[in-house]
Structure 1
């Protein structure tokens, strides 16, 4: 019983020998190939990472250059805009000056226009008054047949007044002018009533005498 138990129990020296044999035993071909493959994969991965990093660096540099160019163009555009704004400000200042001068001139023109309007009203009133005063020595004579005056209207009127109104022959009837109104037209209807005669006397007293004599005779 004891002898069999001894044979089955492992010896410490034998175990240590087996460990040493395992350590000294060369690696198998399969394990060596696995190690080589893993090293190659790691190197390929490093190469790929380096390539990607190079691409990223190149893209970053290109983006930086493009950004710098864009900023340069933006600065130049801003400078151009500043120059244009300065030019526009100068033109606007000149326009404001011209507009101010035009407004001042318009104010002066309005004042002159108001004065001219008042002056025109006053002159029109004066002209109307003068015309009315000039008409005071005028007399209209109606129902005198056309052509009876001949070629001397003033002489005809003097003779007519002495004859019809029985004004004394010694009375000096001074006539400035006498004419028919409206003026003769070639297409005037011969059946129309005769045009009236306008007589302007030089002496208002003679005109008043003629009017009183006409009223007295009806």
Structure 2
């Protein structure tokens, strides 16, 4: 007689004997040498296939790594070139700034600043008024040496009569004229 065990599987029950029969292979004889050799051949083939796949992947990763290292080398070289170029540009900018400052200073070298000339003197009258003051201070300078490159008031809004007027700035064409004027003005102040 068959022993029956109850196994709950959704309202089905099976006999233990029939379940053991399904779990065992149809051919329960021991493996033969041919079966073992077939299994070895299968395992060897699978290992070779896996090795080839891994080798291909490793080679691909190696190629990508070499490519990335090459690109990184080019980027480093490019960055070094840029740093060198930036340093050169910085030196050139510094030299240009110093040159501009020198030119700016030289362009002001012939400037004279006159303080206290009333704002009532219009820009059209400014040059004649200024040259009249200069001729009184240095009368022996010939008229052709009294050439002005420009004359204007200092920047800022026009001031009323109660405040100090804006300075007048004139640029002499000849440095010697400016120098003579400053010497005459100093001797006038000393008296």
TM-score range, shorter chain: 0.5 to 0.7
Q: 1:171 to 1:70 in 2, by over 3 A?
A: same
Secondary structure of the residue that 1:109 maps to in structure 2? helix
**Residue in structure 2 matching 1:178, options 126, 151, 157:** 151
**Residue in structure 1 matching 2:64, options 91, 104, 115:** 91
How many Å apart are 1:203 and its aligned residue? 0.5
Q: Using the alignment, how far apart are the partners of 1:70 and 1:154 within structure 2?
A: 109
How many pairs does the alignment contain? 162
How many Å apart are 1:138 and its aligned residue? 1.0
Q: Using the alignment, how far apart are the partners of 1:120 and 1:126 within structure 2?
A: 10
Q: Using the alignment, how far apart are the partners of 2:95 and 2:125 within structure 1?
A: 39
For the pair 1:215 / 2:191, whether they are aligned, the reply is no
**1:186-209: CA deviations, max 9, x gaps?**
xx6635421111111110111011
**Residue in structure 1 matching 2:139, options 167, 171, 179:** 167
- Structure 2: which 5+ residue stretches go unaligned? 1-16
- Structure 1: which 5+ residue stretches go unaligned? 1-47
Secondary structure of the residue that 1:217 maps to in structure 2? helix
Q: 1:166 to 1:206 in 2, by over 3 A?
A: closer
Aligned to 2:124: 151
Larger radius of gyration: 1
Higher helix share: 1
How many Å apart are 1:129 and its aligned residue? 2.2
For the pair 1:128 / 2:105, whether they are aligned, the reply is no
Q: Using the alignment, how far apart are the partners of 2:141 and 2:92 within structure 1?
A: 48
Q: Does the CA contact (< 8 Å) of 2:148 and 2:170 recur in 1?
A: yes
How many Å apart are 1:169 and its aligned residue? 7.3
Q: Using the alignment, how far apart are the partners of 1:199 and 1:115 within structure 2?
A: 39
**1:29-61: CA deviations, max 9, x gaps?**
xxxxxxxxxxxxxxxxxxx8xx77x82666x99
Q: Does the CA contact (< 8 Å) of 2:123 and 2:152 recur in 1?
A: no
**Could you state the TM-score of these two structures normalised by the residue count of structure 2?**
0.64
Q: 1:192 to 1:81 in 2, by over 3 A?
A: farther
How many Å apart are 1:176 and its aligned residue? 0.4
Q: Root-mean-square deviation (CA), in Å? A: 3.9
For the pair 1:193 / 2:173, whether they are aligned, the reply is no
Secondary structure of the residue that 1:177 maps to in structure 2? strand
